[in-house]
Amino acid sequence: MNRMSAGTLSPMRGLVRLAAGVMLALLAATAGAQQWPAKSVRLVVPFPAGGATDILGRIVAAEMSQAYGQSFVADNRGGAGGNIGAAEVAKSAPDGYTILMGTPGTQSMNQFLYSSMPYDTEHDFAPVSYVAMVPNVLAVSPSLGVKNVKELIDLARAKPGTVNVAFPGNGTSGHMAAELFKSMAKVELQMVPYKGSAPLIQDMLGGRIQMAIDNLPPYMPHIQSGKLLALAIGTKDPFAGLPGVPTIGATVQGFEASSWFVIMAPAKTPEAIVRSLSSEIDKSLKRPAMLDKLKTLGAVAVGGTPEQLGAFLVAETKKWREVIKASGAKLE
C-alpha cells in the first residue's frame, strides 16, 4: 500500500484545519443569533414622542417584543434633526442591544445640511430593515381659507412672507419638502421649525400655524375629523390612504417628497443578529393586522433584506444631496 508522504499530508491537514475553523465560525454565529436577545433591546427614536418616527418605532418595538419574547423598548432621544439619537446608536456597542429608527434626516440629509456631524452616516451603521414609506402631507388650518394647492400658491404670491409653513425640526423630511415646495412653486413662505410634530399640530389646531408639510401619520386623525385640511400629498401618485386628495405634483409639476423609516444597527453588529432581526421585521410587515394598522396611520409597509435597504439608502443619499445643494439650505 502506498503511503502519503509527510509533504503531501501537511497541506491536507491545513485544509482540514481551515474547514474546521470555518465550521466553528458558522456555528458560533448561529449560536449568537439563537442566544440574542438575552436581555432588553433599546430602539432609539431620534425625535420626540408623538411624531411619525415615534409612532412607527413603538409599533416595531411591540412587534419585536412579541416575536422574540424579550422586551424591545422605544427610547426617545430627540434633538439636532435626529443627530443626537443617531450618534448615540452609532457609538454604542455593536451587540444588537441598541438599534435606531432611522429617517431621511439621520441616514441621508443631515450630512449635507450640518457643518459638522457627530457620526459618519455611511460607515457607522449597518442596514437592517426598511420598515415603511410615509407620504408627506401638505396640511392647512381651515382658517387659512384655501381649498387647494393653486389657491395656496396664489395667496402666498399675493402676500409674500405672510403665510407660515411649519415642519417638525431642522433637517427633517418635512423641512426639505417645505424648501422644495418654496423653490418649485416660486413662493415666499415664513419657515417655522418645531421640536417634533406634536407641538406643531397643537399650534395648527389652535390656528397659530397656517400650513405644514410633514409626515402623514400624526395628522391623519385630525384630517379625518375635519379639524385640519389635507390639500395634497407628496407622493408621485395619489395615495390610497387619502382618497380624493391630489398630489402636490399635480399642481407643482415634478414635486415629489415622501418620508421613510428604517431600522439601523451600529456598524460591525454580527451579521447573524442583523439577519435575524431583518427577517422577523419582514415577517411582521406581511401580517394582515400589521398592514391594517399601518394603513390606518397612512403608512405603507415595505420590508426586504439588509442589502436592498443599503441600495435604497445610496439612491436616497444621492437624490437629497442634489436637492439640498440646489436649495442652498444649511444648518449649524
Higher pLDDT, 232 or 236: 232
Q: Beta-strand (E) ranges in the chain? A: 41-45, 72-76, 98-102, 125-140, 164-167, 190-193, 211-215, 229-233, 258-266, 300-301
pTM to 2 decimal places: 0.81
Q: pLDDT, tens digit, for every residue of 247-267?
A: 999 999 999 888 999 999 999
Predicted local confidence at residue 173, as pLDDT: 85
Q: pLDDT, tens digit, for every residue of 39-72?
A: 999 999 999 999 899 999 999 999 999 999 999 9
Same fold across 38-133+258-327 and 135-250: yes
Judged against a pLDDT cut of 50, whether residue 174 lies above it is answered with: yes
Domain ranges of the chain: 38-133+258-327, 135-250
Q: What is the rounded average pLDDT for all residues in the chain?
A: 90
Query: Which pLDDT band holds residue 23 (cuts at 50, 70, 90)?
Result: low
Higher pLDDT, 128 or 50: 128
Predicted local confidence at residue 231, as pLDDT: 98
Burial of 178 (0-12, 13-18, 19+ CB in 10 A): buried
State the Cα–Cα distance between residues 89 and 124, nearest whole angstrom: 9
Query: Which pLDDT band holds residue 3 (cuts at 50, 70, 90)?
Result: very low
Predicted local confidence at residue 10, as pLDDT: 53
Query: Which pLDDT band holds residue 331 (cuts at 50, 70, 90)?
Result: confident
Judged against a pLDDT cut of 70, whether residue 34 lies above it is answered with: no
Judged against a pLDDT cut of 80, whether residue 26 lies above it is answered with: no
Q: Check: CATH 3.40.190.150 for 38-133+258-327?
A: yes
CB neighbours of residue 154 within 10 Å? 13
Are 305 and 284 within 8 A, CB to CB? no
33-40: average pLDDT: 86
Percent of all residues in the chain with a pLDDT value above 90, rounded to a whole number: 76
Q: pLDDT, tens digit, for every residue of 134-148?
A: 999 999 999 999 999
CA distances from 301 to 115, 129, 282 (A): 34, 11, 9
Are 299 and 290 within 8 A, CB to CB? no
Predicted local confidence at residue 151, as pLDDT: 98
Record: fold of 135-250:
D-Maltodextrin-Binding Protein; domain 2 (3.40.190)
